[in-house]
Chain A
């Protein structure tokens, strides 16, 4: 469903952030992208949600070949993805409910469906009781739950999470991680970039891709180019 084939991404100032990276994340998987900071995890995610395009190689996401995707079609692709960031990226002057509804409004969902859909995902993330609160009135873990609700409300095929627990204490981290596992259990693929190896170890069956200075050095699915070339 997400397929990187020999993907290189170079930035004019900082050079190559990804080098010939190849991996394949299948429908319904829980996958980790790990590595030290600067290893290329965020770059890989940015290529998935088309904040950037690869310098060379091919990125396919949910049937879209992103290299050939017209700028006008990018929103269509993004509506099939849910994206969660370390710093939540919530609109401070809107309530939890409004932050989630915003996604549906800007994608022109039918008005009558917005309220019920928002409440459904807020309930799913355990925040139905705090729908009317502003981000500043919520804890970090709760803010991340709102961000996850916002990412889920469009029923994405994959949830992309870039260090979603990076700003949270251990308890909140466990809660958010459990929530991501629950979401995955209900059928949504999750691609999570993290450097927290404790989290990775706590889910032994997950697909694990390790990056080092832009190169894929380990892929538990075993279909990295190095593995393919092995006899």
Chain B
């Protein structure tokens, strides 16, 4: 192991320019991917925050016994899609209307009877905030005898779905293209490092080194270059994010977990690129 570490260190010391160049290349190709990631993360969050407003409201028939409602509320809360159920009484509904619909203040002032029904306001868990699940939950709510009507803004939810589909499709295609470009660039960079040491590999083989022994320092080198490239790319992305925040709009950055996954992915790409390049080289000589 000592020798492998020493040989890896030697590779960086002997060809510092090539090493720096390949780390920079890896960093920039990951940076482009990182920028795309930032856009994706922000679109995802924007859609998520809109989707938070997805709500199914079941209006309840007057005179339904409170015990029935309490039992039903527990049932509905047990639906796998449901995050929370809020029972809004008639009085609460009126208070809310008075607060939210100030332009109808006069009408609400003159009321003798509260015309507003009580309701269950049902919020869904994030993965279920799409038209299919919302409709499904609405149908189930409708089947309760004490439910008068169910509203959930069908058109709006469908539009949100469509937006999500488009973002998902564009994201996958563009993301895959960027990832592919990054993989090709990283693979080529590492192949250059392998070719630069072709003579050394040939001599190692002639004196009886096993292929796995020859491979190890290259794998380690690829991993280290990938990780360093990933870290530099993360730094560049943070810089770009700070600039965008200052000059254009408030955007969110990667969570620490996403950032760690990004850097680890750099390392993994370096490792895979090395494994492929060295493997190909060893098979061809």
Q: Hey, which bits of chain A sit against chain B, CB under 8 A?
A: 49, 51, 71-72, 75-79, 83, 89, 91, 93, 102-103, 105-108, 150, 154
The residues of B that contact A89 with a CB separation of less than 8 Å are 199, 202-203, 206
Chain B hits for A71, CB < 8 A: 211
Are A150 and B208 closer than 8 Å at their CB atoms? no
B50 CB within 8 Å of chain A: no
**Is B208 a contact of A75 with CB atoms below 8 Å?**
yes
Cα(A79)–Cα(B205), bound, Å:
10
Q: In the bound complex, what is the Cα–Cα distance between A150 and B209 (angstroms)?
A: 14
Q: Are A75 and B209 in contact (CB under 8 A)?
A: yes
Q: How many residues of B contact A (CB 8 A)?
A: 16
Chain B at the A interface: mostly helix, strand, loop or mixed?
helix
* Contact pick for A78, options B14, B200, B208, B213, CB 8 Å: B208
Q: Which residues of A contact B210 (CB under 8 A)?
A: 72, 75
The answer to whether B203 touches A91, judged by C-beta atoms less than 8 angstroms apart, is: yes
Q: A75-B211, A102-B207 are in contact. List 6 more A-B contacts (CB 8 A).
A: A72-B210, A79-B207, A91-B203, A106-B208, A106-B209, A154-B207
Shortest CB-to-CB span from A117 to chain B, Å, is 14
The 6 closest A-B pairs by CB, nearest first: A106-B209, A79-B208, A78-B208, A103-B207, A75-B208, A75-B210
Residues of chain B lying within 8 A (CB to CB) of residue A108: 213
Q: A-facing mask of B188-226, CB < 8 A → 1, else 0?
A: 000000000001101111111111011000000000000
Closest chain A residue to B214, Cβ basis: A106
Is A107 touching B200 in the complex (CB atoms < 8 A)?
no
Contact status B206-A78, CB under 8 Å: yes
22 A/B residue pairs, CB under 8 Å, sorted by A: A75-B211, A78-B206, A78-B208, A79-B207, A79-B208, A89-B199, A89-B202, A89-B206, A91-B200, A93-B14, A102-B204, A102-B207, A103-B207, A103-B208, A105-B3, A106-B204, A106-B209, A106-B213, A106-B214, A107-B207, A154-B207, A154-B208
When chains A and B are docked, how far (Å) is the Cα of A65 from the Cα of B3?
32
Chain B residues in contact with chain A, CB under 8 A?
Answer: 3, 14, 199-200, 202-211, 213-214
Q: List residues of chain B with CB within 8 A of the CB of A103.
A: 207-208
Give the complex CA separation of A94 and B210 in angstroms: 21
Alpha-carbon gap, A96 to B202, bound state (A): 18
> What CA separation (Å) do A75 and B213 show in the bound complex?
11
Once the chains bind, are B206 and A49 in contact (CB under 8 Å)?
yes
Residues of A contacting B214 with CB < 8 Å? 106
Q: Are A150 and B207 in contact (CB under 8 A)?
A: yes
| Residues in chain A near residue B211, CB distance under 8 A | 71, 75
Q: Report the bound CA distance from A108 to B3 in whole Å.
A: 9
Interface contacts (Cβ under 8 Å), in number, total 47
In the assembled complex, which residues on chain B have CB atoms less than 8 Å from the CB atom of A83?
A: 206-207
Whole-angstrom distance between the Cβ of A64 and the nearest chain B Cβ: 13
- Return chain B residues, CB-CB under 8 Å to A91: 199-200, 203
Q: A91-B199, A105-B3 are in contact. Are A76 and B208 (CB under 8 A)?
A: yes
* Interchain nearest-CB distance for A48 vs B (Å): 12
CB distance from B275 to the nearest CB of A (A): 17
Chain A residue, CB-CB nearest to B200: A91
Contact A107 B203 (CB under 8 A): no
CB distance from A97 to the nearest CB of B (A): 15
Q: How far is the CA of A49 from the CA of B205 in the complex (A)?
A: 10
Are A106's CB and B207's CB within 8 A?
Answer: yes
State the CA gap A150–B90 with chains docked (Å): 95
B202 cross-chain contacts in A, Cβ below 8 A: 89
Expressed in whole angstroms, the Cα–Cα distance for A89 and B203 within the complex equals 7
* B213 vs chain A, min Cβ distance (A): 6
Most buried by A among B3, B199, B205, B206: B206
Contacts of B213 in A (CB 8 A): 106, 108
Most B-side CB within 10 Å, residue of A75, A103, A105, A107 = A75
**Shortest CB distance A77–B (Å):** 8
- The interface residues of chain A lying within 8 Å CB-to-CB of B207 are 78-79, 83, 102-103, 106-107, 150, 154
Residue of B nearest to A147 (CB): B203
Complex Cα spacing A93 to B15, Å: 11
CB distance from B202 to the nearest CB of A (A): 8
| Nearest CB in chain A to that of B206: its residue | A83
* Minimum Cβ distance to chain A for residue B211 (Å): 8
Q: How far does the alpha carbon of A76 sit from the alpha carbon of B210 in the complex, in Å?
A: 9
A71-B282 Cα distance, complex, nearest whole Å: 12
Task: Give bound CA distance, A173 to B211, whole Å.
Answer: 35
Q: How far is the CB of A70 from chain B (nearest CB, A)?
A: 12
A77 contact set on B, CB distance < 8 A: 208
How distant is the Cα of A154 from the Cα of B207 in the complex, in angstroms?
9
* A166 and B3 alpha carbons, distance in the complex (Å): 34
State the CA gap A77–B202 with chains docked (Å).
16
CB neighbours (8 Å) of B204 from chain A are: 102, 106
